């Protein structure tokens, strides 16, 4: 496992995934909490990086704001379908949530039949969670596949004990590439750290762009560097 180099706050732009990178994975998605010392370090790093720090998540930006309150930060939400290029700027949404209404309806019956599957409605994306019922993995994937079967404009994606559907054409790699064209990120060298398959798009972009790609955990990845777990991420951020 090759550890990443230290962050150079005068030259780097820092992009951090949230779940599995800054906070550990737990059963209830709404109950995650960042450790106070890691939170303080994020705030400090954001200052030292002159604002060139963004959280890049599958979550809604509104959720990230709640988990990281009172910090104000640049963010990518719902895998790039929500954007906030600068702290405090308005959140741009690339789609209307109503585009998913037919899929919402199609999932309803399956969810009534299998209440151990939990639906997370992120507006522009729908997630079925099966962390507390891992035996339902294939059922969750089947339900989502069938609900979105006639929708060429949507993509279904498997994450860590989740299956998600959202509009096609966007991923974390494209979102990070877009942010890199804007201040305060433009002209800096990107660092991306993430743990899940959905982070591979951004890890691939950053590697291609000559940046520092950091995979969290031991799963297969295109990243150049690795950190073992969330605690190792916190230690690296604090080094």
Ligand X SMILES: O=P(O)(O)OC[C@H]1O[C@H](O[C@H]2O[C@H](CO)[C@@H](O)[C@H](O)[C@H]2O)[C@H](O)[C@@H](O)[C@@H]1O
Site of interaction with ligand X (CB under 6 A): 17-20, 25-27, 29, 32, 57-59, 120, 122, 127, 129, 131, 159-162, 196, 198
Nearer to ligand X, 32 or 99 (CB): 32
**Could you tell me the smallest distance in angstroms from the CB atom of residue 159 to ligand X?**
5
**Could you tell me the smallest distance in angstroms from the CB atom of residue 11 to ligand X?**
25
8, 17, 27, 199: which is the annotated catalytic residue? Answer: 17
Point out the residue whose Cβ comes nearest to ligand X: 58
**17 labelled catalytic:** yes
**Could you tell me the smallest distance in angstroms from the CB atom of residue 100 to ligand X?**
14
> What count of other Cβ atoms lies within 10 Å of the Cβ of residue 31?
7
**Could you tell me the smallest distance in angstroms from the CB atom of residue 141 to ligand X?**
14
Enumerate the active-site residues: 17
């Amino acid at each position: 496992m090759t550890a990443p180099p230290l962050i150079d706050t005068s030259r780097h732009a820092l992009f951090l995934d949230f779940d599995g990178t800054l906070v550990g994975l737990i059963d209830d998605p709404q109950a995650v909490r960042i450790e106070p010392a890691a939170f303080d370090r994020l705030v400090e790093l954001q200052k030292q990086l002159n604002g060139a720090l963004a959280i890049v998540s599958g979550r809604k930006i509104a959720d990230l704001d709640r988990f990281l309150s009172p910090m104000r930060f640049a963010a990518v939400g719902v895998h790039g379908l929500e954007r906030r290029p600068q702290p405090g700027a308005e959140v741009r949404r690339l789609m209307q949530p109503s585009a998913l209404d037919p899929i919402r309806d199609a999932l309803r019956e399956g969810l009534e039949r299998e209440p151990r599957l939990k639906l997370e409605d992120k507006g522009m994306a729908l997630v079925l969670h099966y962390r507390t019922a891992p035996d339902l993995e294939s059922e969750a994937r089947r339900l989502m596949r069938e609900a979105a079967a006639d929708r060429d404009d949507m993509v279904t994606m498997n994450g860590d004990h989740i299956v998600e559907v959202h509009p096609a054409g966007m991923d974390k790699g494209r979102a990070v590439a877009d942010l890199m064209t804007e201040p305060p990120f433009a002209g800096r060298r990107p660092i991306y750290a993430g743990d899940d398959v959905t982070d591979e798009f951004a890890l691939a972009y950053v590697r291609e762009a000559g940046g520092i790609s950091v995979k969290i955990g031991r799963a297969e990845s295109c990243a150049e560097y690795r950190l073992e777990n969330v605690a190792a991420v916190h230690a690296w951020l604090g080094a």
